[in-house]
Amino acid sequence: QVQLVESGGGSVQAGGSLRLSCAASGLTSSSNPMGWFRQAPGQEREGVAAIYSRSGITVYADSVKGRFTISQDNAKPTVYLQMNSLKPEDTAMYYCASGFQGLSSEWRSQRLWSAWGQGTLVTVSS
């Protein structure tokens, strides 16, 4: 059974940075890729970034390209989300995900991911 535990959230001013971590256990070959999602109050959960560990390919939502970087330490194993130049609109609960089953072009669809962490809250003030 896959278990995902996020950490690293907090409050930061606009323009600041945070690094989120997702400690994973019970991973299998079907746990590739790993992803980060976020959900703001009253909004649907949306895909932020994903990483394919075998190929090293990373994908991002347009809203975070150039500001966020997803990476993975397979030895631990842990997935990271480095968030720079944060904006108030980045405020949300951030979730780590695995167990994706779908076309690669559908990675942002939360319904195609089966394992989730409990989330870590990121608050960006202006």
Residues of the chain with pLDDT under 50: none
**Where does residue 69 rank: exposed (0-12), middle (13-18), buried (19+ CB within 10 A)?**
middle
What is the reported pLDDT for 26? Answer: 86
Find tokens 């992803």 and name the residue: 35
DSSP state of 34: E
Token pair in block for residue 103:
């076309």
What is the reported pLDDT for 31? Answer: 67
What is the reported pLDDT for 55? Answer: 86
Q: Which residues contact 21 (CB under 8 A, 6 or more apart)?
A: 6, 7, 8, 78, 79, 80
What is the reported pLDDT for 115? Answer: 94
What is the reported pLDDT for 32? Answer: 83
